[in-house]
Amino acid sequence: MLLSFSAVALFGFLTAVLLKVRAHAAALPTTFLFGFFLADTGAAPVIRQLLADTAKALNSLG
């Protein structure tokens, strides 16, 4: 069974949880990514490609 989540929903959820538990330093990267995915700026495609390449690299390791 394949389960798919929106990147905006995932990073929004992670940001909310990390801010709720007052993990502000840990929330910084997720908030940054949430903002780019939410706003869909010109930099978003580059960040999406970076994340896809990182996921592929991690997948090939294990």
Q: Please give the Cα distance from 60 to 54 (Å, whole number).
A: 10
The candidate with the shortest Cα–Cα distance to 30, out of 46, 48, 17, 41, is 17
The pLDDT > 70 percentage for the chain reads: 90
pLDDT of 4 reads 58
Confidence (pLDDT) at 21: 94
What pLDDT shows up at residue 1?
Answer: 44
Mean pLDDT of 16-27: 90
Give the pTM: 0.58
pLDDT of residue 8: 82
What is the predicted pLDDT for the residue at 61?
87
Give the residue extent of every domain in the chain.
26-62
